[in-house]
């Protein structure tokens, strides 16, 4: 009986070793998309009042965990019974990411140079609406990126037994959420850390210089992440199209992958944006009251 118990422990240890190795491989393969996920979500979690940054980030993190709870079992079931459906889901997700990236570029160029200042009555309402909208957008984008992360992780362990697949994909999904949003939390609180160092040192000495550097660096980091996040959306979308649509994969093989993916992502995003604008215009036309 004792030998049977130790044999079970030995099997569990061997399984954990296999899972650890598989998780390492899957995490390495998803490193690129995790970097994109970090850039996109850091950009989406910034731009709020300091006291609202962490609550907003926590709301996005909870949404991300729910996303993973939905995506992981569905991906495992589809991979087992309807593997072709994963390709269609990825392409649809790529269209959404491309649209988000293209929309940011359109907004940048279409943004008026001088905006009228909001009244005091409008500001709290506008801030609340902006907060809800950005949280919803961040969770939706996280859902699409999470699908990509889970699918890549699943592909990395596709030859392993089912139990290893389940544990590995679940581990990668958890690492993605905790790691990405933990780093995002550190980024958005850079200025608070800087102000804390300045106060403790009375703005004198090397630590005060570090504090001033952190405070001054945050706006630059946010602007940089905004640019990187937009590029990441387009590149991830282009990568999805390239890897899942045979015609696009073979198109211009001599072109560098990053340029090809950016062009495909931007082109698809502009096309989807044009279609969305057309539908909005048609919907607005039908809603207009007829002249009597």
Domain for residue 240, yes or no?
yes
Domain for residue 289, yes or no?
no
Domain that holds residue 217: 2-110+123-245+252-282
Q: Which pLDDT does position 122 carry in this prediction?
A: 45
pTM: 0.72
Q: Which pLDDT does position 277 carry in this prediction?
A: 92
Domain for residue 288, yes or no?
no
Q: Which pLDDT does position 162 carry in this prediction?
A: 79
Domain for residue 268, yes or no?
yes
Which segments in the chain show pLDDT lower than 50?
A: 1-2, 5-12, 15, 119-123
Rounded to whole angstroms, how far apart are CA atoms 75 and 228? Answer: 28
**What is the tens place of the pLDDT at every residue in 40-83?**
666 666 666 667 777 888 888 899 899 999 999 998 888 888 88
Rounded to whole angstroms, how far apart are CA atoms 42 and 187? Answer: 7
Number of domains in the chain: 1
Rounded to whole angstroms, how far apart are CA atoms 100 and 74? Answer: 24
Q: Residue 271 burial by CB count (10 A; 0-12/13-18/19+): exposed, middle or buried?
A: middle
Distance between first and last Cα of the chain: 91
Question: In whole angstroms, how large is the CA radius of gyration of the chain?
Answer: 23
Domain for residue 41, yes or no?
yes
Q: Which residues fall within 8 angstroms of residue 168, CB to CB, at 6 or more apart?
A: 19, 22, 23, 26, 153, 156, 157, 160
Domain for residue 24, yes or no?
yes
Q: Which residues fall within 8 angstroms of residue 191, CB to CB, at 6 or more apart?
A: 50, 214, 215, 218
* Cα 250 → chain centroid: 27
* Interior/surface letters 28-57, b for 16+ CB within 10 angstroms, e for the rest: ebbeebbebbbbbbbbbbbebeeeebbebb
Contact predicate 176/37, CB 8 Å: yes
Q: Which pLDDT does position 21 carry in this prediction?
A: 57
Q: Which pLDDT does position 226 carry in this prediction?
A: 75
Domain for residue 12, yes or no?
yes
Q: Computed from CA positions of residues 72, 78, 80, 84, in that sequence, does the dihedral angle turn out positive or negative?
A: negative
Contact predicate 139/64, CB 8 Å: yes
């Amino acid at each position: 009986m004792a030998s049977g118990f130790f044999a079970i422990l030995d099997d569990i240890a061997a399984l954990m070793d296999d899972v650890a190795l598989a998780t390492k491989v899957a995490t390495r393969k998803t490193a690129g998309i995790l970097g994109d996920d970090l850039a996109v979500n850091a950009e989406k979690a910034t731009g709020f009042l300091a006291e609202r940054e962490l609550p907003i980030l926590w709301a996005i993190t909870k949404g991300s965990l729910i996303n993973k709870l939905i995506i992981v079992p569905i991906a495992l079931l589809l991979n087992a019974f309807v593997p072709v459906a994963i390709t269609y889901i990825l392409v649809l997700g790529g269209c959404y990411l491309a649209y988000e990236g293209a929309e940011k570029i359109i907004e940048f160029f279409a943004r008026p140079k001088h905006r009228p200042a909001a009244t005091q009555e409008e500001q709290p309402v506008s801030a609340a609406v902006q907060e809800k909208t950005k949280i919803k957008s961040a969770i939706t984008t996280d859902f699409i990126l999470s699908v990509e992360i889970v699918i890549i992780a699943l592909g990395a362990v596709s030859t392993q037994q089912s139990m290893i697949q389940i544990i590995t994909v679940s581990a990668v999904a958890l690492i993605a959420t905790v790691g990405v949003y933990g780093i995002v939390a550190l980024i958005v609180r850079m200025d608070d850390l800087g102000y804390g160092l300045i106060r403790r040192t009375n703005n004198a000495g090397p630590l005060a210089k570090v504090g001033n550097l952190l405070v001054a660096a945050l706006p630059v980091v946010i602007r940089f992440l905004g640019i990187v996040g937009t590029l990441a959306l387009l590149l991830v979308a282009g990568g999805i199209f390239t890897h899942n649509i045979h015609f696009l994969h073979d198109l211009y093989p001599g072109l560098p992958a990053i340029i090809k993916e950016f062009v495909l992502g931007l082109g698809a995003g502009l096309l989807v944006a044009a279609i969305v604008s057309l539908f909005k215009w048609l919907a607005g036309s039908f809603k207009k009251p007829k002249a009597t």
